[in-house]
């Protein structure tokens, strides 16, 4: 599956939660992070974030126009799940 880089931005990334769930035939890690970036208007929830050698799907976007920043919640995208 191919992805095209749209932009690179500075971010503060904070772990929110991590756990493992049983999937056949292996244990699948689940991680969620909170990402703070400067306001980036074209950002869409369907996009994928590449960070630390992993692909992260955007689960939620909060915008704070007054502070010119955005907060994203993202989780590791499972194979075939990221679009």
pLDDT tens for residues 4-63?
888 889 999 999 987 776 666 776 667 899 999 999 878 888 999 998 888 999 999 999
The encoded tokens of residue 23 equal 């999937």
Question: Across the strands, what pairs with 69?
Answer: 38, 64
Beta carbons of 72 and 37 less than 8 angstroms apart: yes
Asked whether the predicted pLDDT for residue 80 surpasses 60, the reply is no
Q: Please report the sign of the dihedral spanned by the C-alpha atoms of residue 66, residue 69, residue 75, residue 81.
A: positive
Task: Give the model's pLDDT for residue 83.
Answer: 44
Task: Give the model's pLDDT for residue 6.
Answer: 87
Task: Give the model's pLDDT for residue 31.
Answer: 86
Tell me which of 1 and 76 has the higher pLDDT. Answer: 76
């Amino acid at each position: 599956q191919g992805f095209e880089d749209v932009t690179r931005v500075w971010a503060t990334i904070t772990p929110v939660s991590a756990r493992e769930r049983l999937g056949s035939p292996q244990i699948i890690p689940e991680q969620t992070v909170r990402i703070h970036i400067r306001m980036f208007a074209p950002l869409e929830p369907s996009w994928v974030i590449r960070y630390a050698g992993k692909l992260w799907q955007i689960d939620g976007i909060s915008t704070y126009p007054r502070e010119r920043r955005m907060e994203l919640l993202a989780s590791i995208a499972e194979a075939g799940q990221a679009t």
